[in-house]
Chains A and B, each alone.
Chain A
Amino acid sequence: MLLRHTPKEVAERKALTINPAKTCQPIGAMYAALGIHGCLPHSHGSQGCCAYHRSALTRHYKEPVSAATSSFTEGASVFGGQANLLQAIENIFTVYEPDVIAVHTTCLSETIGDDLKQIADKAQKEGKIPAGKHVIGASTPSYVGSHVTGFSAMVKSMVAAFSEKTGKKNGKVNIIPGWVEPADMEEIKRLATLVGVEHILFPDTSGVLNGPLSGEYKMFPDGGTTVADLKATGDAMGTLALGELCSGDAARLLDSQCKVPCKVLDMPFGLRATDRFVDALRILAGVTVPDEVALERGQLVDLISDMHQYFYHKKVALVGDPDQLVSMVEFLVTLDMLPVHVVTGTPGKAFERRIKELTAGLPCEVNVRAGGDMFLLHQWIKNEPVDLLIGNTYCKYMARDEDIPFVRWGFPILDRQGHQYFPTVGYKGGLRLLEKILGVLLDRKDRDDPEQTFELVL
């Protein structure tokens, strides 16, 4: 047993987190910043955090992840990191020549109290920022929130730094996709285009973290939202923010800063959330949804009905990030599955309320915890076993110990491929999720059925 010391009895812990279901803000800021074209993320702190974040993102994407650091030593920790950041800005623009440096803080620089805005202004005054280049910043102390709030903070700072209102509307819709995979961002753009809506998606990591191998290394790949597009978000007709936690703040800032009205939606995972996304796009842009979209939707409904017997009343345990989990739980309920244990490491009571609402009618108890950890989830599973586990790669230790069919979904996925290429958002993404869920459930059935009842056709 790999987690042999996990007892079945749940004892409430006040101080000790075991097997976290979240990580720290800066990595979210780094991931978001990679969604700006020509941007080098910069970690203002000691070099270890940056090394850890780059490694984690690289292991997840199997792609180069460039990011710089202020490389604090003891001196900087005592006297502040201004000198380090100024030096870093100069070195970065000279050596790597990005269009944008997106700085985020760490627990170290936040504890010291470094003021990014003031340092960036100083860099500007000292001529360290070449004409037409930008330094933006987000405050992401790791002792507040989680990787999700770090992502949100960096997206918000994109609006603060770039969004401009010229007074002339550009007829476009801003879409803030939230922390989803590059393939998901691609799919959201495809859907919007299919519906016939001109849009600016930001941030956009497609084409950045799922690049080709061609014998050429581009430190700044072709993908990413351009600075020009980020500026133009201020002239859009409206904003659709996907995921309250990931995207809500940026959308509201865009509203107050540039008077671009916004609507915050759930992330489009599963049938219903995708329906709402497409409908919102249609209404905002005043277009008719074409038949192709209805066809994709119909195919998803068809698969649900075809295989409903395998979904019906199967118990599911999930761990992940709030915005993603809300939509996924809704999707599972749509399938008549029973999400019985739901854990996120990110704190926030609203999440627990929302999950309770979504699962209110189910014929079972539902355990939900925001600010929980995987140790707790494992204990819940020991007390109330499940038929399916959905979460990131770390779940595989529980899945193996308890022999539970397991679908990898979320961040990070370190041991399987596909998340960077195949979306799980939209109707197509819904099909892929069902394919994965059915795959593990039916593999299990085929493994466990006795020979006399082993079936060819399922």
Chain B
Amino acid sequence: MATTKNGLAPTEVKEELLRKYPPKVARKRAKQIMINEAQQAETPEITANVRTIPGIITMRGCTYAGCKGVILGPTRDIVNITHGPIGCGFYSWLTRRNQTDASAPGAENYMTYCFSTDMQDQDIIFGGEKKLEAAIEEAYEIFHPKAIAIFATCPVGLIGDDIHAVARKMKAKFGDCNVFAFSCEGYKGVSQSAGHHIANNQIFRHVVGENDADKPGEYRINLLGEYNIGGDGFEIDRILKKCGITNNATFSGNSTYDQFASAHKADLNAVMCHRSINYVADMLETKYGIPWIKVNFIGAASTAKSLRKIAQYFGDRSLIDRVEEVIAEEMPAVEAVAADVRTRTEGKTAMLFVGGSRAHHYQDLFAEMGMQTISAGYEFAHRDDYEGRHVIPELKVDADSRNIEELEVEADPTRFAPRKSPEELKKLEEAGFKFKHYDGLVPDMDKGTLVVDDLNQYEAEKLVELLRPDIFCAGIKEKFSIQKLGIPMKQLHSYDSGGPYAGFQGAVNFYKEIDRLVNSKVWGYMKAPWQEHPELSAAYVWE
């Protein structure tokens, strides 16, 4: 049986994680902690996307956070109004690091603003629709934006405000401003993931396809599930541009309303974060005939691989050659830094507990530094993100997922156009090209590593104590409790104000950052000399 670095068997680690829990909690958590390669007969699969246990301190946020914060947060020219008490809007104000480039003359940018109806008790008692209507009106009067989006917070659903009716009414009234709403109350679903789904559904329903004008550029793709944290999207755009690939729309990093509106004009959807958006890729295919592939621009090798995949899809010799040129041009600098950093990082270990794709993607970057990921898991992913898309038909629809609308989508009567003929698709597939394919995180992790879904504070601390990784990656709430233990912690949501880490230049940034963190002198300062050597015997000899 495999043992971990400190000699503990993975089963022993798992037992230790569960030991202190009340029996009910232990039973539930046992199903969400998997020793890789399913060594325990009773849990051949991992349980994911299930409720958080009350009282167990979780990393997760809410549906509103996933909808307003994650998906709509990075779009700069929509006025996002939070309908609810002030808190939710306040906390989601500029706290995610999605960068945007609004430098073009006349460009709109509302991302620096926070808009809220700041509901008061009389609105809770008598209903908040009137106030919402007035707030939309005021926003329109002051800013004249092209779109206004409304986000419901917890109490709104309970008091029964019909935000969609208000949105329809105001849209009709203005005529030149698209108004749409999101029923993303925090209690819906079990995590942010539900909010991503609600957000993407509404964008698909109300915005995608609104602009039929032809766009310039060859090899048009949409990049789905890339949020431009720390400028990741900028680096990916730089590389795509260099290759001659046109990024038609990013969902939703550095995006504009118009990008969404013309998303149906692309010829390929490249999906970064599978969790937050794979259903949009499916819907774009069904409605408009655009195929999708999984890509990953985290890690230099993965970036190269993803570029080749896109080039192979389009199949033009000139594009394939250009992509090879770009890779050949970019790689030497990346490899030089990797080789240098590797002398200091080789053999070190990492743990990654983030979101819905990063805990997988970032393992590539660590591997490029010779570091092993000994434990990983997602905060809000589903089983397919762990085990691969082949499990999707088996996924049970529970009470919480039933809450989240699945859009019924059909081929658009006039605009559906298959981008490839069945023969072309077949040829590509025979050449090993995989559409709509994602194997998940589990196959990429070593035997005996621990995969933990919805890791909580208690388990995080235990894992770190037992396995002493050289670096731990999670979010702001976990950052300092881990570091108090003397283990460097890298935020992979906000990047600790660093980045970009995507693409080639991003890989270089990440290697250097991890080198800095794991080799920082500060971890050697935990004890004062008198704490290390409390004995008084070695008396000084005074000159």
Contact = CB atoms under 8 A, between A and B. Distances in A.
Contact of B132 (A4, A15, A58, A213): A15
A386 B372 CA distance: 55
A16 B117 contact: yes
Interface string A104-122: 0011100110000000000
B526 A215 contact: yes
Contact of B81 (A16, A54, A75, A216): A16
Nearest to B124: A143
A62 to B, nearest CB: 6
A143 B158 CA distance: 14
Contacts of A58: 476-477, 479-480
B115 A18 contact: yes
A20 B86 contact: yes
B112 A3 contact: yes
A45 B86 CA distance: 16
A215 B142 CA distance: 53
A247 interface: no
Contacts of B58: 47, 51, 69, 71
B54 A91 contact: yes
Nearest to A70: B54
A66 B124 CA distance: 30
A219 B55 CA distance: 15
Given A68-B57, A73-B187, A88-B55, A112 B86 contact: no
B187 A108 contact: yes
B186 interface: yes
B332 interface: no
A88 B22 CA distance: 11
B174 interface: no
A324 to B, nearest CB: 18
Contact of B90 (A20, A112, A216): A20
A67 interface: yes
Interface stretch (A92-100, A182-190, A286-294): A92-100
B219 to A, nearest CB: 34
B87 A77 contact: no
A305 B117 CA distance: 46
A456 interface: no
A187 B531 CA distance: 28
Interface string A345-362: 100000000000000000
Contact of A49 (B55, B87, B138): B87
Interface stretch (A21-29, A198-206, A267-275): A21-29
Nearest to A414: B95
A168 interface: no
B143 interface: yes
Contacts of B59: 51
A215 B527 contact: yes
Contact of B118 (A4, A20, A64): A20
A394 interface: yes
Contact of A142 (B54, B85, B115): B85
A108 B186 contact: yes
**Interface size band for B:** 35 or more
Interface string B106-124: 0011101111111111011
B500 interface: no
Most buried by A among B92, B112, B131, B132: B112
Contacts of A144: 120-121
Nearest to B56: A91
A52 B22 contact: no
B90 A51 contact: no
Most buried by A among B22, B108, B159, B477: B477
Contact of A26 (B87, B89, B399): B87
A95 B187 contact: no
A164 B105 CA distance: 66
Contacts of B189: 73
Interface stretch (B39-47, B61-69, B267-275, B405-413): B61-69
B172 interface: no
Given A55-B477, A62-B480, A217 B461 contact: yes
A157 B143 CA distance: 44
Contacts of A52: 61, 65, 87-88, 91-92
A143 B527 CA distance: 47
A45 B480 contact: no
Contacts of B109: 2, 4-5
B435 interface: no
B458 A96 contact: yes
A245 B524 CA distance: 45
A91 B476 contact: no
A55 B86 contact: no
B90 A23 contact: yes
Contacts of B91: 23, 52-53, 55-56
B60 interface: yes
B484 A16 contact: no
B279 interface: no
A87 interface: yes
Interface stretch (B7-15, B30-38, B149-157, B250-258): B149-157
Interface string A67-88: 1111111111100000011011
Contact of B20 (A27, A64, A95, A214): A95
A71 B85 contact: no
A447 interface: no
Interface of B: 20-22, 25, 51-65, 81, 84-95, 108-110, 112-121, 123-124, 131-135, 137-139, 141-143, 153-155, 157-159, 185-190, 399-400, 403, 457-458, 461, 475-477, 479-486, 522, 525-527
21 contacts: A2-B109, A3-B112, A5-B113, A20-B114, A23-B90, A24-B88, A48-B61, A48-B62, A48-B154, A51-B477, A58-B480, A69-B57, A71-B54, A71-B58, A74-B399, A90-B55, A108-B154, A112-B158, A211-B484, A213-B525, A215-B486
Given A16-B115, A20-B116, A142-B86, 7 more contacts: A15-B138, A25-B87, A48-B61, A48-B154, A56-B91, A68-B55, A76-B187
Interface of A: 2-5, 7, 11, 13-20, 22-27, 42, 45-49, 51-56, 58-59, 62-77, 84-85, 87-92, 94-96, 106-108, 111-112, 141-144, 146, 211, 213-219, 345, 375, 394, 397
The 4 closest A-B pairs by CB, nearest first: A48-B62, A24-B87, A88-B55, A91-B55
